[in-house]
């Protein structure tokens, strides 16, 4: 009888695939893989951008309609939108791993994929440090760990250059508008709030406990912004109307001509291009630093 546990343990060992592994995603969930993933479907535009930046796109077999950068990403098979991707399209691609997010994909989608036996890795980043962590994680998952260090160093050098450029200047009050109607702004846990701070500004909504609170126009004006930034989300979404703000001619920020449009794709996606967005913010908030 004493030999039975030994036999059972041996049978279990034999039953496991030779290269099986278990990883933890960014929410701490265990994700079991039969082998290092060779076929990955990305449901997250930020993740798609990082995988390409690392040179791991050879393992990327499917993306969403919103994965539009780099341009080569649009040549990958699409599984539909982020909110309701086609489960049939995903399963047809026979992925070893689907990378999703709890910040744009539905929990129902994740549960359905797992019921179908498709491993799902959840990613997300509200801070630059978390983005750097995600880069490292994706480097491991795509077999491109040697590309992680150089990419992170380049990004960190540019971030440090921005901090140095604005260090001696006063921090103006900044109103950042993610969406016009209803008026949605970044709060304490939003990545763009950290970017405004790094760019030498002070977000008038950055202390709000919600990540993306709604704000009335009156409350926005009461914050006495010295710079207003209007996020442009591209041709596929509602345009950000500058005229609505420029009609408020009694405001000093309007008189000073400090209403600017910014590229939301650079500032809201937690991929390498977020540093491009940071540099864009810095030039708008502190043009005097670059004269």
The pTM is what? 0.87
Which domain, by its residues, includes 113?
Answer: 14-143
Whether residue 280 lies inside any domain: the answer is: yes
What integer pLDDT is reported at residue 18 of this predicted model? 55
- 22 and 72 both lie in a single domain: yes
Among the candidates 143, 175, 207, a domain finishes at 143
Whether residue 159 lies inside any domain: the answer is: no
Nearest to 280 by CA among 181, 179, 176, 210: 176
Whether residue 255 lies inside any domain: the answer is: yes
- Secondary-structure percent of the chain, ordered helix, strand, coil, rounded to 5: 45, 15, 40
- 30 and 96 both lie in a single domain: yes
Q: How far apart are CA 24 and CA 28, in angstroms?
A: 5
- 100 and 31 both lie in a single domain: yes
- 175 and 241 both lie in a single domain: yes
Maximum distance among all Cα pairs of the chain, rounded to whole angstroms: 89
- 86 and 190 both lie in a single domain: no
What integer pLDDT is reported at residue 239 of this predicted model? 43
Task: Report residue 100: phi and psi, to 5°.
Answer: -125, -175
Task: Report residue 173: phi and psi, to 5°.
Answer: -75, 130
Whether residue 157 lies inside any domain: the answer is: no
Q: How far apart are CA 172 and CA 170, in angstroms?
A: 6
- 171 and 283 both lie in a single domain: yes
- 256 and 182 both lie in a single domain: yes
- 261 and 228 both lie in a single domain: yes
Give the model confidence (pLDDT) of 190-207 as tens digits. 999 999 999 999 999 988
Sign of the CA dihedral with 96 first, then 102, 104, and 105 last:
positive
Which residues of the chain register pLDDT less than 70? 1-19, 234-243, 291
Burial class (CB within 10 angstroms; exposed 0-12, middle 13-18, buried 19+) of 222: exposed
Among the candidates 108, 143, 178, a domain finishes at 143
- 272 and 225 both lie in a single domain: yes
Whether residue 197 lies inside any domain: the answer is: yes
Whether residue 85 lies inside any domain: the answer is: yes
CATH for 252: 3.40.50.1980
What integer pLDDT is reported at residue 245 of this predicted model? 75
- 205 and 119 both lie in a single domain: no
Whether residue 148 lies inside any domain: the answer is: no
Q: Contact, 119 vs 32, CB < 8 A?
A: yes
- Please tell me the total count of domains within the chain: 2
């Amino acid at each position: 009888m004493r030999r039975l546990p030994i036999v059972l343990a041996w049978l279990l060992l034999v039953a496991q695939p030779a290269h099986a592994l278990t990883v933890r995603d960014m929410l701490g969930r265990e994700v079991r893989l039969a082998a290092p993933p060779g076929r990955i479907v990305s449901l997250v535009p930020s993740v798609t951008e990082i995988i390409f930046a690392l040179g791991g796109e050879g393992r990327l077999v499917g993306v969403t309609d919103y994965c539009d950068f780099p341009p080569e990403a649009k040549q990958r098979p699409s599984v539909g939108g982020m909110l309701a991707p086609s489960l049939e399209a995903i399963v047809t691609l026979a992925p070893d791993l689907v990378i999703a997010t709890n910040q744009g994909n539905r929990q129902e989608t994740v549960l359905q994929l797992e019921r179908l036996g498709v491993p799902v890795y959840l990613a997300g980043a509200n801070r630059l440090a978390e983005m750097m962590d995600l880069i490292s994680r994706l480097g491991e998952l795509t077999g491109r760990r040697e590309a992680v260090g150089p990419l992170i160093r380049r990004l960190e050098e540019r971030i440090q250059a921005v901090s140095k450029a604005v260090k001696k200047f006063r921090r103006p009050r900044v109103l950042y508008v993610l969406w016009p109607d209803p008026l949605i702004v970044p709060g304490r846990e939003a990545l763009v709030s950290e970017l405004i701070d790094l760019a030498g500004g002070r977000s008038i909504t950055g202390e709000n406990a919600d990540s993306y609170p709604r704000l009335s126009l009156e409350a926005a004006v009461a914050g006495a912004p010295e710079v207003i930034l209007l996020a442009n989300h591209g041709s596929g979404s509602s345009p950000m109307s500058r005229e609505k703000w420029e009609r408020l001619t009694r405001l000093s920020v309007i008189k000073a001509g400090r209403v600017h449009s910014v590229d939301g794709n650079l500032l809201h996606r937690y991929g390498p291009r977020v540093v491009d967005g940071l540099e864009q913010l810095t030039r708008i908030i502190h043009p005097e630093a670059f004269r």
